[in-house]
Amino acid sequence: QITLKESGPTLVKPTQTLTLTCTFSGFSLSTSGVGVGWIRQPPGKALEWLALIYWNDGKRYSPPLQSRLAVTKDTSKNQVVLTMTNMDPVDTATYSCAHLSIGWSFDYWGQGTLVTVSS
């Protein structure tokens, strides 16, 4: 059974860097074809894809946010880490990690973690 869970701060100040960890089980990020993505959702708003990391350490980023994002993996710990620099109140959202399925869809999601950006 595949599960994912996000962890990190619930409150960050403007200009700070956000670091979120996705800890997963039920699959390995060393298996060919596997990927883990990050998606966020501002309160009451739509989903927005942020980043994805593949089993071979390939990384993809949302073009508008690319300069602020970085994603890394620790295969031995079954973890993926997302960092986002220069946080702004508009970045207030629930941040979720998800398992990339065949067919370029996300078939398993974490519960998400609400991050508020405020001074």
Among 43, 63, 90, 119, interactor with another protein by CB under 8 A = 63
Contact 52, 80 (CB under 8 A): no
Tell me whether residue 3 or residue 16 sits nearer to another protein (CB atom). 3
110 binds another protein (CB under 8 A): yes
**Terminal Cα-to-Cα distance of the chain (whole angstroms):** 40
Contacts of 103 (CB under 8 A, 6+ apart): none
34-53: contacts with another protein (CB under 8 A): 37, 39, 46-49, 52
What's the closest the beta carbon of residue 75 comes to another protein, in angstroms? 22
Among 3, 16, 21, 62, interactor with another protein by CB under 8 A = 62
Beta bridge partners of 42: none
Tell me whether residue 63 or residue 76 sits nearer to another protein (CB atom). 63
103 binds another protein (CB under 8 A): yes
Q: Which residues bind another protein (CB under 8 A)?
A: 37, 39, 46-49, 52, 60, 62-63, 96, 101, 103-107, 109-112
